[in-house]
Structure 1
Amino acid sequence: MLFPVNLSFVLLPKGMPRGDMAKPLLGRRNMESNPDLAPAAGRTVGILGSGDFARSLATRLVYSGFQVVVGSRNPKRCAGLFPSAAEVTGQADAAKKTDVIFVAVFREHYSTLSDLTDVLAGKILVDVSNNTEINHHKESNAEYLASLFPACTVVKGFNVISAWTLQSGPRDGNKQVLICCDNQEAKRTVAEIAQVMGFTPVDMGSLSSACEMENIPLRLLPAWKIPVFLALGLFLCFYTYNFIRQVLHPYIWEQKNKFYKIPVEVVNSTLPCVAYVMLSLVYLPGVLAASFQLHYGTKYRRFPDWLDQWLQHRKQIGLLSFFCAALHAVYSLCLPMRRSHRYQLINAAVKQSTLGFIALVVSTLHTLTFGWTRAFDENQYKFYLPPSYTLTLLVPCTVILAKIFFHLPCIHQRLRRIRNGWEKGRYVKFTLPSATGEYSSGESSSNV
């Protein structure tokens, strides 16, 4: 994938309305509130290339109020693919008519632009390309383009925006446009264009950041990597544990063949365990963070990296917990009701909320009620291994007890002061909400 791919690009016949795409993203009121953007809206912008991304980019620029000139090696053949308001001409002519040019061609075709070296001198080239593999080349595409055209100013940008987002507008996709360049003025110019198009420009620094920017579209769900591996690890652990108890133990001690349980029953008894523990892991980092704040007496001390990463992945962990619970419900439909009801756990929380913690408490009560009598039955300890539900209770019970501890008036008050700016060993003015909803100021010290 060299460019953000448009899998559903539809060419509309001339005269057919294009819906919201025909409306500029910034109206007159936005221009009045941002007078600095008005000059950018009427400027001429060039595009070198005639692929899907180039067509989507030209369409969005036209409907955002820009004059667009498209440079193509076959202008007559490609003219009908672009909006009628866009001028489609040869590459040399397009390069002469504008100072800002989007280079929407493949990296291996950069050398074909060598004939335009003199025409492109002193202009701003916006490189929108991506690679097929992470770190496929020693240098980024933008740096390579800059080495081919040293007289130009190369800006890396728009590579994380898909062609579909350009067609549908930023409301249906990521609004952020990452931009990097060694020239601040060129970076500001491209940022203004992105703003007029309705996107949010993000300054990524110098052109050396282009390599990292080009790797972003190639990473599959980067925020999900750790949670997914965590869920898979827990699943393998609990599956192995349940396999030993439910299949291997009867086979060795009773000579009973229960391998038929492997695809359904063992999986069905594993999924709620994973969902239950994952739901507990959503709230455990909050408990640890509160413990750190109470220990150091301040909120300004940085958490360890592992805890900081854990806190950032709580949403994904909660969603995976819900996914495992949903799979458990599906698997339960494959079993008789008398079997499936034994493993049902309530897990409807997908975000950090009171509802999620209530689900954790109810699940814990359900598990304790279900396993109370079995916990004292020696026949349940196969190979001297306790039932799987007793293992799942360790983390949830720890979280619930810690939550109760932190809600004790003396601990809760101290923790609330810390989170409002109070620091141990220092006199700090802070403001706390009163019972009536009003705020009162006061002073505190380590003796309070």
Structure 2
Amino acid sequence: MNSISIIGSGNMARALATRALAGGNTVEIIGRDQAKAKELAATLDGATVGTIGVAPAGDIVILAVLWDGAVPVVKEYGDALRGKVIVDITNPVAPDLQGLVTPEGSSGAQEIAKAAPADAHVVKAFNTLFSHVLAAGNGLDVFIAGDDAQAKAQVSAFIESLGMRALDTGKLPLARALENAGLLEIGLVANSFNHTNFSLGANTLS
């Protein structure tokens, strides 16, 4: 069992919280809009409500916010995130949906890591899953990237508790490739599928 704090109260927060609770994890919902956080927690059996800016209760802190808010939230928490595993699920996509807004050679996850306390560990995960796919799917592949092996093992165990498969892609710089994969999915929606009822995965050939 893992102890999870989810910062955010949107669709991804709901999907992650629902599956986390079903997988036997404890869940804390934190939102800048306290009313929305309480409203979400009330629909979930067993979730608690935290306070923005106060140290999250969970060992794993999931940033279920839009990219524009991710770094500011981490900076606002500051030392309250010391020792935490921070899971970045964002996609820092440009408004025209044609590229990423992060500095050349960097990623959203790396920018979050720069803002986080030195002893916090950032892991990229879940950014290639649409919220309704995450909510409904079992056996999905979740690509992760991070620099700390223990943090990745902890996130992998959490992913497995959701009935999904964690696939380690390497160190945190690989998060840029995962964010480009998120951009790829947006392109597929716009130009090929015209829907979001799909996910990316990896199959091994015999």
Q: What is the TM-score with the length of structure 1 in the denominator? A: 0.38
**Equivalent in the alignment of 1:383:** none
Asked if structure 2 preserves the Cα contact closer than 8 Å seen for 1:61 and 1:197, the reply is yes
**Equivalent in the alignment of 1:107:** 67
**Equivalent in the alignment of 1:320:** none
Q: Report the AA paired with residue 141 of structure 1.
A: G
Question: Could you list the runs of 5+ residues in structure 1 that have no partner in the other structure?
Answer: 1-41, 226-448
Q: How many residues align?
A: 179
1:209 correspondence with 2:174? yes
Moved over 3 A (4+): none
- CA RMSD across the alignment: 2.1
Question: Could you list the runs of 5+ residues in structure 2 that have no partner in the other structure?
Answer: 193-206
Asked if structure 2 preserves the Cα contact closer than 8 Å seen for 1:131 and 1:215, the reply is no
Counterparts of 2:114 and 2:13, CA distance in 1: 23
**Equivalent in the alignment of 1:145:** 112
**Equivalent in the alignment of 1:167:** 135
Secondary structure, in 3 states, of the residue corresponding to 1:91?
Answer: coil
What are the equivalent positions in structure 2 for 1:229-240 lying under 5 Å apart? none
Counterparts of 1:167 and 1:107, CA distance in 2: 21
**Equivalent in the alignment of 1:90:** 51
What are the equivalent positions in structure 2 for 1:226-375 lying under 5 Å apart? none
Larger radius of gyration: 1
Counterparts of 1:43 and 1:157, CA distance in 2: 16
1:2-42: CA deviations, max 9, x gaps?
xxxxxxxxxxxxxxxxxxxxxxxxxxxxxxxxxxxxxxxx2
Greater share of strand residues, 1 or 2?
2
Q: Say if 1:200 and 1:77 are closer, same or farther in 2 by CA, change over 3 A.
A: closer
Secondary structure, in 3 states, of the residue corresponding to 2:53?
Answer: helix
**Equivalent in the alignment of 1:50:** 9
1:62 correspondence with 2:29? no
State the percentage of identical aligned residues. 30
Q: Say if 1:44 and 1:164 are closer, same or farther in 2 by CA, change over 3 A.
A: same
Asked if structure 2 preserves the Cα contact closer than 8 Å seen for 1:72 and 1:91, the reply is yes
1:176-219: CA deviations, max 9, x gaps?
10011011110111011111111111110000000110111221
Q: Say if 1:77 and 1:49 are closer, same or farther in 2 by CA, change over 3 A.
A: closer
Asked if structure 2 preserves the Cα contact closer than 8 Å seen for 1:68 and 1:86, the reply is yes
Q: Report the AA paired with residue 144 of structure 2.
A: I
How far 1:116 sits from its partner (Å)?
Answer: 1.2
Greater share of helix residues, 1 or 2?
1
Q: Report the AA paired with residue 161 of structure 1.
A: L
1:372-394: CA deviations, max 9, x gaps?
xxxxxxxxxxxxxxxxxxxxxxx
How far 1:167 sits from its partner (Å)?
Answer: 1.6
Bigger relative contact order, structure 1 or 2 (CA pairs below 8 A, ≥6 apart): 2
Counterparts of 1:150 and 1:196, CA distance in 2: 27
How far 1:221 sits from its partner (Å)?
Answer: 4.2
Q: Say if 1:108 and 1:135 are closer, same or farther in 2 by CA, change over 3 A.
A: closer
How far 1:97 sits from its partner (Å)?
Answer: 1.3
